Amino acid sequence: MKTIATRIGVILAMILLGIFLFISGKEHAVFIENKGEKYTPKNAYYILDGKKEVKIKKKKKKREYVKGVNHTIEVRFKDADGIEKKVVKEFKTKMGKKITINAAMIENDSWMKIEELKSKK
Amino acid sequence: MENKGKKFLINNIVPIVILIMIVMAAPISGLSGGYLVQEMISRLSRNSFLVLSLIIPVVAGMGLNFGIVLGAMAGQLGLIFITDWRIVGMEGIMLAVLISLPIAVLLGILGGYILNKAKGREMITSIIMGFFINGVYQLIVLYGMGNIIPMTNKKIILSRGYGIRNAIDLKNIRQVLDKSMVVKVGEFTIPLLTILIIGGLCLFIVWFRKTKLGQDMRAIGQDMEIAKSAGIAVEKTRVLSIVISTVLASIGQIIFLQNIGTMNTYNSHEQIGMFSIAAILIGGATAAKASIPNALGGIILFHLMFVISPRAGKELVGSAQIGEFFRVFISYGVIALALVLHQWRREQENKAERKRMMEIQLSGGEK
């Protein structure tokens, strides 16, 4: 009886560890665009999860890959008055969801767009 | 003194012959010492886990387990799944190991039972078993994946909609283990984490040999009948030795492929048994006795041959293609040479034993 319980315990622990690894190691695509409603900076710069700074030109869109659930994005750009701004935001990724971050609207509430991921047939 | 030297020579004939070949070929190849040392560090970290997985079945008297191919297949299945699910980094490697573990255990149990039915012919049986399971693996990967087992990553699926592509790019986990902890010693780069994992396996083998199960395996390896009469569950213990070997081989294959960075879906596992066994034999192991120094020393010697011989061949003959033939010639030739030398060594030992027995009988008679 004790042996069976131990074996079941080991199997359950392995399944739980597997689920944890699946969630924390899953790669997600995140889209970053530089396209504001009223104002779009000429160039915006972003740092995703503390990695290398990337430049994104006006009205352009870039695809980045991130690992796991919790992420941070740091965006740097010049606003309409020519003042340098630096904004840091946190966001979460979910399976089956497409995330688009708008660097130009990073200060607004609608800085992130979450959509259902369409499967290609 | 002369006897001692002769005994040492007979016991280490395989590594000595290979070492002589290396010493002769090294200057011809024109490769620098620094390059060779760096190559050996890289290849030692890449192959050690697989070669070390061969030790436990030898202790249990099962001979050299050509069935590690089964474990390699389990490891590859784990890698296919994590690539399909897009699990990256260290988590990817750990999940691949986790997925391959139950598959390797099942294949190990199957292998162990089959080898129990073929006592005394374990080596050839495990080769054929590897071929058989390879067929099953190919059927699953070529037809089942995408058809029965759902696959979502278009990059790894064949254009017809099912079956896995011939080569899978493991860029998501490429050298994750090797690059996560790196130490620079002079001009050399040492993948510390991989070396630590291999060191952990060496400690496990040393510890395992001292446990009750390890002692039982050794007793079975020495004499199965005596072990049976001593109350040891011979068949169960033999199965366990194969299960451990298969599980270690599955992890070893994952370590091996993360270092390479690409997986040849239908061929990567096929050569593993041959190459690992060639390496351990070159290190001075036999079908009845293998140790950690045999495994590690064997990898160094085998890969030195592997690196040096194509270049030496090219320099000697002047054709780059000849170098590639040299690789094949070396890998298979070395297994044949090691087995022939092993047989010769056994004959020498038997001859010495007969001589000793005769001397004892004669001296007893004189009394």
Chain segment B35-78, per-residue pLDDT in tens? 999 999 999 999 999 999 999 999 998 888 888 999 999 999 99
Task: Output the pLDDT for position B323.
Answer: 67
B333 or B147, higher pLDDT: B147
The whole-chain average pLDDT of chain A stands at: 88
CA B270 – CA A45 distance, rounded (Å): 48
Q: Is A19 on the interface with B (CB under 8 A)?
A: no
Enclosing H/E stretch for A54: strand A54-57
Residue B89 falls in which region: left (phi positive, over 0), alpha (psi -120 to 50) or beta: left
Nearest CA in chain A to B102: A11
Task: Output the pLDDT for position B317.
Answer: 78
Query: Which of A18, A26, A67 shows the shortest C-beta gap to B98?
Result: A18
Chain B residues with CB under 8 Å of A15 CB are none
- DSSP track, B112-177: HHHHHHTTT-HHHHHHHHHHHHHHHHHHIIIIIBTTTB----TTTB-TTSSSB-SEEE-TTTTTHH
Chain A closest-CA separation from residue B72 CA (Å): 20
Chain A residues with CB under 8 Å of B101 CB are 14
Is residue B363 over pLDDT 90? no
Give this prediction's pTM.
0.88
Query: Between the ranges A49-63, B244-258, B278-292, B338-352, where is the mean pLDDT highest?
Result: B244-258
Task: Output the pLDDT for position B365.
Answer: 56
Is residue B367 over pLDDT 50? no
pLDDT < 70 positions in chain A = 118-121
The whole-chain average pLDDT of chain B stands at: 89
CA B191 – CA B42 distance, rounded (Å): 8
Q: Do B172 and A18 touch (CB under 8 A)?
A: no
Chain A closest-CA separation from residue B85 CA (Å): 7
Show the tokens assigned to A88.
């840091």
CA A15 – CA A26 distance, rounded (Å): 16
Residue B267 sits at φ, ψ, to 5 deg, of -125, -25
Q: Do B89 and A21 touch (CB under 8 A)?
A: no
- From the list A77, A74, A119, A73, the residue with the least C-alpha distance to A92 is A73
The per-residue b/e assignment along B186-220, b for 16 or more CB within 10 angstroms, e otherwise, is eeeebbbbbbebbeebbeebeebbeeebbebbebb
Q: Which stretches within chain A are classed as H helix?
A: 2-25
Chain A closest-CA separation from residue B259 CA (Å): 19
Strand partners, B167: B264
Which of A67, A69, A93, A95 is the best substitution to test chain B (most B C-beta atoms within 10 A)? A67
**Mean pLDDT of all residues in B183-209:** 94
Q: Do A27 and B101 touch (CB under 8 A)?
A: no
- From the list A99, A104, A103, A102, the residue with the least C-alpha distance to A114 is A99
Tell me the per-residue pLDDT of B81-125, one tens digit each, with 9 for 90 and over.
Answer: 999 999 999 999 999 999 999 999 999 999 999 999 998 888 889
Query: Between the ranges A12-26, B26-40, B328-342, where is the mean pLDDT highest?
Result: A12-26
Chain A residues with CB under 8 Å of B90 CB are 25
CA B271 – CA B134 distance, rounded (Å): 12
Which of B88, B157, B176, B254 is the best substitution to test chain A (most A C-beta atoms within 10 A)? B88
Query: Which of B87, B101, B154 shows the shortest C-beta gap to A21?
Result: B87
CA B36 – CA A14 distance, rounded (Å): 41
Is residue B274 over pLDDT 80? yes
Reduce the DSSP state of residue A112 to 3 states and report it: strand
Q: Is A85 on the interface with B (CB under 8 A)?
A: no
**Mean pLDDT of all residues in B286-292:** 85
Strand partners, A57: A43
| In contact, B348 and B286? CB cutoff 8 Å | no
Q: Do B98 and A17 touch (CB under 8 A)?
A: yes
Chain B residues with CB under 8 Å of A22 CB are 85, 87, 91, 95
Q: Do A21 and B95 touch (CB under 8 A)?
A: yes
Chain A residues with CB under 8 Å of B87 CB are 21-22, 25-27
Q: Which stretches within chain B are classed as H helix?
A: 2-11, 13-29, 33-52, 55-59, 68-85, 89-117, 122-139, 176-180, 192-210, 212-222, 224-229, 234-260, 272-282, 292-317, 320-366
Q: Which amino acid is at B160?
A: R
Tell me the per-residue pLDDT of B221-261, one tens digit each, with 9 for 90 and over.
Answer: 988 999 999 999 999 999 999 999 999 999 999 999 999 99
Query: Which of B87, B101, B172 shows the shortest C-beta gap to A22?
Result: B87
Chain A residues with CB under 8 Å of B172 CB are 27
Query: Which of A21, A27, A120 shows the shortest C-beta gap to B86?
Result: A27
Q: Do B91 and A21 touch (CB under 8 A)?
A: yes
